[in-house]
Every structure is written in structure tokens, then in C-alpha cells.
Amino acid sequence: MPAPPAYAIGQFRDPAAEVARLREQGAVLAAAEDAAFRALGFPDQGVGLDLGCGPGFVTRRFLESRPGLRLVGADIDRRALALARAVAPMVAGTGEALPFADRAFDFAYARFVLRYLAAPGRALGELRRVVKPGGVVLALDSDDAALVIHPEPAGFAATLRAREETLRRRGADVGFARKLPALLGGAELEGIAGTTLTVSSLAIGAAPFAALVLAPVAEAIDADLLSKDEVLAAARAIRAWPALPGAFGMTSVVLVSGRRKMA
């Protein structure tokens, strides 16, 4: 029997709440992310691939802000695809074996998906394959080591370790973002460039930070690593964290781009 995916909306205790979190996450990052994508070559027109499109919230945002753009989404999560099909054409497919012809797209991007793949380098090679020569490939992802939190919610450290081990068992890399520049270079892309985006409780508030960044830590943990009661207790502590004196949290994400060689 195949191993479960490292991430799927249906793995969460409340899938509808996870969809809402994804919507809000995209909204919080929108202005800074759009500016960073544009600076690294994200075009205003053409046909692009959105790998790991999820429910399509960011797909919609890009389409609404760029009338000359057409996007096709790809994801393995059929629950997410059912929501995203109202936004743009969507295809069920894995990043390591994209169901598209060579040079089918003008550009491609992947947001918060490569860290969950067992072979992210192969997926980047696939993104390079499906873009035309000169087309840009962009990857945005996170790294658990970038998380700073003070004071820690009760049980947070143990819960984070259990969540990270669960993800590793399913092929994910919790320290992934730091490897993005090397991986894009290894995918035979040229002109590698990038930037980082920071999200903090000072900027968005402690309660939104807890809901958007910390809450997923207490989700989808293998039962042999942490009991259900322990996970629920950690989730309650995360929800209570914003009220702690001096509550502060910060993390960052990494955006890297490269272009398919013309030759």
C-alpha cells in the first residue's frame, strides 16, 4: 500500500478550516509575494503552470491582477482540485512526472509544494522540461528552522518534533528552502536569483500568526509519535499563545527563480 502524501487537506482534523487557513495565508503574503515574483521575472502575460495549486486562491489572485495571463493548475489533492476548477483548468498530477508535453508553457511556478515531495529535484527538472527556452521557473518554499517563537506554547517543541518526523516518514524535507538555490541550479536553469520574505507577529498580529503559521504543527501527526490527546493539548496551547505576555513569532520563506537555457 502506498505511503500517504506528506500533505493533503483531508489529513487535517477540520479540512474546511485548513482551506480557510490557505485562503488567509495567501492574502497575508499577497502584496510582498506579488512584488517579489514580479521582480524575479513572473510575467504579465502568457500561459503558465501552477504546480501544487491547492484550492486555487493564489491562482485566482494572479489571474485577476494580470488580465493577459492564463494558468493551468496541477495537484495530487483531489479535494483541493475540486475547489480550484472554478478558477482555471486543473489537472491531477504529481510534480515528479508532470502530464504535459515538453515546452508546453511560457513559465511555471511552485508554491509551498516542493518540500512535500520525495524527489523535489526531479520535480524541478520537470518544471524546466515543460517551459519553453527562456521561460522562467519560480519556487517559493519554507524551512522549519526559520521559525522563531517566544515564549513557546506548552508542549510545542515535542509537537514540532513529532510533526517533522511524520513528514520525514512521508518523504518531505522540513529543512527544504535553504536548498532551493542549489536545486534550481542542478535543474539546468540559468540566471539563478532569489529573495526572502519575512512574516512576523509584529506585522500581522499574534493571533493570525498562531492560526496561519503555528496551528499546522499540531495536525496530522503519526499516532505512535504523539497521542491524540497530546496533539489536541498542543493545539489548545497554540490557540492560547497570543494571550501570553510578550508573545512573538517570526518565520521566513524563500523565493528562487531561474530560466530554461535557450540552447
Query: CA–CA separation, 260 vs 13, rounded Å?
Result: 41
Please check whether residue 55 is in contact with residue 84, taking contact to mean a CB–CB distance below 8 angstroms: yes
Residue 44 confidence (pLDDT) = 96
Specify if 132 maps to a domain.
yes
**Bridge partner residues of 74 (DSSP):** 51, 91
Nearest to 180 by CA among 197, 203, 157, 162: 197
Tally of structural domains, the chain: 1
Specify if 4 maps to a domain.
no
256: phi > 0 → left, psi -120 to 50 → alpha, else beta; which?
Answer: beta
Tell me what the mean pLDDT of segment 102-123 comes to. 97
Please check whether residue 97 is in contact with residue 126, taking contact to mean a CB–CB distance below 8 angstroms: yes
Residue 187 confidence (pLDDT) = 87
Q: Is the pLDDT of residue 4 over 90?
A: no
pLDDT tens-digit profile of 5-61?
999 999 999 999 999 999 999 999 999 999 999 999 999 999 999 999 999 999 999
Query: CA–CA separation, 99 vs 108, rounded Å?
Result: 14
| Helices and strands: H and E segment counts in the chain | 9, 8
pLDDT tens-digit profile of 61-109?
999 999 999 999 999 999 999 999 999 999 999 999 999 999 999 999 9
Please check whether residue 250 is in contact with residue 214, taking contact to mean a CB–CB distance below 8 angstroms: no
pLDDT tens-digit profile of 167-222?
999 999 999 999 999 999 998 999 999 999 999 999 999 999 999 999 999 999 99
| Segments forming the whole domain that contains residue 230 | 9-260
Residue 229 confidence (pLDDT) = 97
Question: Which is it for strands 107-111 and 45-51: parallel, antiparallel or unpaired?
Answer: parallel
Nearest to 135 by CA among 109, 97, 99: 109
Specify if 1 maps to a domain.
no
Specify if 206 maps to a domain.
yes
Residue 117 confidence (pLDDT) = 96
Amino acid at 163: R
Specify if 145 maps to a domain.
yes
Which residues, other chains included, contact 159 with Cβ-Cβ below 8 Å and sequence gap of 6+?
217, 218, 221, 226, 230, 231, 234
Residue 120 confidence (pLDDT) = 96
Whole-Å CA distances, 151 to 53, 146, 178: 34, 16, 25
pLDDT tens-digit profile of 228-242?
999 999 999 999 999
CATH code: domain of residue 174:
3.40.50.150
Residue 239 confidence (pLDDT) = 98
Query: CA–CA separation, 197 vs 150, rounded Å?
Result: 20
Burial profile 77-105: b = 16 or more Cβ within 10 angstroms, e = fewer? bebbbebbeebbebeebbbeebebeeeeb
The pTM (predicted TM-score) of the whole model is: 0.95
Q: Confidence class of residue 3 from pLDDT cuts 50, 70 and 90?
A: confident
